[in-house]
Amino acid sequence: MRRLTIPFALLLTTLTACGALRTHEARDPQGELVGSNILDLAQSVGIPDKTMKLVDTGGPNDRLEAQWNFSNSDAALDMNALVLDIKVGGAGKCSMTATVERWGGKVLAVNFPQAHSDSIGSDYGACEPLVEEALTHNPHTPEDPKWDAFSLVGAAK
């Protein structure tokens, strides 16, 4: 049993890192999502669950925050050992937020506020399906500087 401890720990760490890698890729300022259009995110992962106007002056610095929530109860590996509840393979809750320019809808930043990488049971695995959809099905909508992204406010559930 002792011989399997180190390989098993290495396997769990590797599986957790796969989910974290995609979320870091989504956050990357030179990546696919940052710099894309909010309409691209809405087409690939759906209408945001929540939207909020951050700055509403009518000027070029107006911002919008959009949030998508995702929950997945299926895990590839679910273990309960003493006080540890370890789920590997996508179980958990994920929230993805995007900070967006009002005029044109350019995505300035993408964050995952619930996810953390300091434990094996982190929610990065739960974010992976949402991030995968956003990265692989990004339609690259042309930017229209006259389009008002605040029109998405109220479109949320």
Per-residue pLDDT tens digits for 127-138 = 777 788 888 888
Domain ranges for the chain: 2-152
Q: What is the pLDDT of residue 100?
A: 94
Per-residue pLDDT tens digits for 30-54 = 667 888 899 998 988 888 999 999 9
Per-residue pLDDT tens digits for 1-15 = 566 666 555 555 554
Per the rule left: phi > 0, alpha: psi between -120 and 50, beta: everything else, 33 is alpha
Which one is predicted more confidently, 100 or 117?
A: 100
Per-residue tokens: 152: 């998405």
Q: What is the pLDDT of residue 17?
A: 47
Torsion 69-72-75-78 (CA) sign:
positive
Q: What is the pLDDT of residue 103?
A: 92
Q: Are 36 and 140 in contact (CB under 8 A)?
A: yes
Per-residue pLDDT tens digits for 20-32 = 555 656 656 666 7
| Per-position DSSP letters for the chain, written without gaps between them | -HHHHHHHHHHHHHHHHHHHHHHHHHH-TTSSSTTSBHHHHHHHH-S-SEEEEEE-SSSTT-EEEEEEEEEE---SEEEEETTEEEEESS-EEEEEEEEEETBT-BEEEEE-TT--SSSTT-THHHHHHHHHHHHHT---PPP-TT-BGGGGTTT--
CA distance 49 to 66: 8
Residue 83 has pLDDT above 70, yes or no: no
CA distance readout (Å), 1 to 5, 7, 40, 79, 150: 7, 11, 49, 17, 58
